[in-house]
């Protein structure tokens, strides 16, 4: 809500100074949207004063720590209410992450369901065993809940607009559900695959690794629960 990065008006734009971690695709992006004390500034990834250093991620996808040393960009909006402009950026990011996570868990669940229906053990499909059916059913419930939360968030942002604080309840619940429930659901799906689930030539590891990165990008389950709790206690 109060970015540490600063932006000073200069000829041709705003000069941004600050440091950020876990910035996806910073080296190949056309512009980087930077939350600052003046609002959101769009800085070209190749602008002078931008330094992107590769950092590790669970999925192995491109992620960077980015330093801005007086890099000049364009302030988005009129800058009259910087905090509100930054909030818009966060809301759109959360809604997008929700949609991405929804598809991620849905795809991993479908992949596992296919495996359980075609893999045979003791002469019958794995899906026929009660314990297996119960575990995949639990993941299905998690997946459907995430879908409802993500859909509600996207609808709310579209209906009320990203500048409205009324969308925050739905977004906070969605973000918490992703951080708290998505990684454990992926672990269950790995377990249901048996040994093949940890084989890097099998696609499931890309789903689960991406889930870890999304939970980290959101700040983790404890942080997200604190935000939901604070919102509930203020009612």
- The predicted pLDDT at position 128 comes to 72
Q: Domain locations in the chain?
A: 6-75, 82-233
Question: Considering the entire predicted model, what is its pTM?
Answer: 0.90
Q: What is the mean pLDDT of residues 55-67?
A: 94
- The predicted pLDDT at position 234 comes to 58
Cα separation, 219 vs 153, whole angstroms: 18
b/e burial code for range 137-169 (CB count within 10 A of at least 16 → b): eebbebbeebbebbebbbebbeeeebeeeebbb
Contact predicate 183/218, CB 8 Å: no
Structure tokens at 42: 């769009």
DSSP strands (E only) in 104-199 = 120-121, 124-125
- The predicted pLDDT at position 64 comes to 97
**In CATH, which of 3.30.1490.20, 3.40.570.10, 2.40.110.10, 2.30.30.40 is domain 6-75?**
2.40.110.10
Q: State which fold the 82-233 domain adopts.
A: Butyryl-CoA Dehydrogenase, subunit A; domain 3 (1.20.140)
- The predicted pLDDT at position 2 comes to 85
- The predicted pLDDT at position 235 comes to 55
Cα separation, 191 vs 187, whole angstroms: 6
Lowest mean pLDDT among 61-70, 118-127, 201-210: 118-127
Cα separation, 35 vs 151, whole angstroms: 26
Instruction: For residue 55, give the DSSP letter.
Output: -
Q: What is the mean pLDDT of residues 47-64?
A: 94
Cα separation, 59 vs 108, whole angstroms: 15
Q: What is the mean pLDDT of residues 51-75?
A: 95
85-126 pLDDT per residue, tens: 999 999 999 999 999 999 999 999 999 999 888 877 777 877
Cα separation, 124 vs 112, whole angstroms: 16
64 vs 124, more confident: 64
């Amino acid at each position: 809500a109060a970015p540490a990065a600063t932006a000073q008006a200069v000829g041709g734009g705003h000069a941004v100074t600050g440091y950020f971690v876990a910035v996806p695709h910073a080296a190949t992006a056309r512009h980087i949207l930077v939350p600052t004390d003046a609002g959101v500034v769009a800085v070209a990834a190749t602008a002078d004063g931008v330094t992107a250093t590769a950092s590790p991620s669970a999925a192995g996808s491109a992620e960077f720590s980015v330093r801005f040393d007086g890099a000049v960009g364009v302030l988005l909006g009129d800058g009259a209410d910087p905090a509100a402009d930054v909030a818009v950026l966060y809301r759109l990011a959360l809604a997008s992450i929700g949609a991405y996570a929804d598809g991620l868990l849905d795809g991993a669940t479908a992949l596992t369901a296919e495996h359980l229906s075609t893999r045979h053990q003791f002469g019958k499909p794995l899906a026929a065993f009660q314990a297996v059916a119960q575990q995949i059913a639990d993941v299905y419930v998690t997946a459907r809940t995430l879908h409802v939360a993500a859909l509600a968030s996207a609808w709310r942002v579209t209906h009320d607009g990203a500048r409205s604080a009324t969308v925050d309840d739905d977004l906070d619940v969605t973000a918490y559900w992703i951080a708290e429930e998505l990684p454990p659901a992926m672990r269950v799906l790995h377990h249901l695959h048996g040994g093949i689930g940890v084989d890097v030539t099998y696609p499931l590891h890309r789903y689960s690794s991406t889930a870890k990165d999304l939970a980290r990008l959101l700040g983790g389950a404890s942080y997200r629960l604190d935000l939901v709790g604070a919102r509930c206690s203020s009612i």
